[in-house]
Amino acid sequence: MSKGEINIQSPLDSKTVSMLKAGDKVLLSGIVYTARDAAHKRLIEAMDRGESLPFDLKGQTIYYVGPSPAPPGHIIGSAGPTTSGRMDSFTPRLLAAGLKVMIGKGSRSSEVKEAIKTYSCVYLAAIGGAGALLSKAIRKAEVIAYEDLGTEAILRLEVENFPAIVINDIYGGDLYQEGKEKYRTKH
């Protein structure tokens, strides 16, 4: 924990993922797709029908975020992570289909943690509630699917040095568990 920051570029491969360990701080640059509950539901329904998805999941990053509208002169509004656990029931299928990185906040189910190991993926957290600050790392944003969902539409973001921290790695590491145990005191 608490070494320097690791720069990673998205999309990425299993080899890059294998270098990341719970507690590592990363600065992520490249392409990131946004998706929350409603978009996840539609992605899974499209997979059930055998349709192609709005973007190829292979090696990609999904950021669980529903940004606020961009005020004039801004690329995007406030854009911090939403609670990842709501996506848990959809996640293992997306990881099996090639998704590599998830960015959100809050702990994941044991099924998701297993799938992270099985398919060599990584779960990152960004600071919940720091949406104004995090929006500064977003360089470009365009809607690519499900525009009718409003803030829940899928956006293709270009990010530069987006700050996040590794929560769950392919080795079974879990920063939420480790952090809590380290600082827990007898009351």
Partner 1 sequence: MKSINLRLIRSTVASLCQEANYNLGEDVIILLKKALRKETSPQGKEVLSQLIKNAAIAGQEKLPLCQDCGTVLIFVELGQDVHIVGGNLIEGLNDGIREGYRQGHLRMSMVAQPFTSRINTGDNTPAVVHTKIVPGDSLSITLLPKGAGSENMSRLAMLKPAQGRQGIVDFVIEAVEQAGSNPCPPIIVGVGIGGTADKAMVMAKEALLRKTGTNHHDKEVAQLENEILSGINALGIGPAGLGGRTTALAVHAEVFPCHIASLPVAVALQCHSARHKNATL
Contact residues for partner 1, defined by CB under 8 A: 1-2, 23, 38, 65-71, 74, 77-80, 82-83, 85, 105-107, 125, 127-133, 135-136, 149-152, 165, 175-176, 178-187
Q: What's the distance, CA 37 to chain centroid?
A: 13
From 107, 79, 70, 77, select the one nearest 91 (Cα to Cα).
107
Nearer to partner 1, 29 or 151 (CB): 151
Name the β-bridge partners of 83.
105
Label residues 77-86 b or e (16+ Cβ within 10 Å = b).
bbbbbbebbe
Q: Least Å distance between CB 79 and partner 1?
A: 6
The tokens for 80 are 């911090």
Nearer to partner 1, 150 or 172 (CB): 150
**What number of helices (H) and strands (E) belong to the chain?**
6, 7
Q: Least Å distance between CB 135 and partner 1?
A: 7
Nearer to partner 1, 142 or 181 (CB): 181
Nearer to partner 1, 46 or 127 (CB): 127
Q: Least Å distance between CB 3 and partner 1?
A: 11
Q: What's the distance, CA 162 to chain centroid?
A: 11
Q: Least Å distance between CB 10 and partner 1?
A: 20
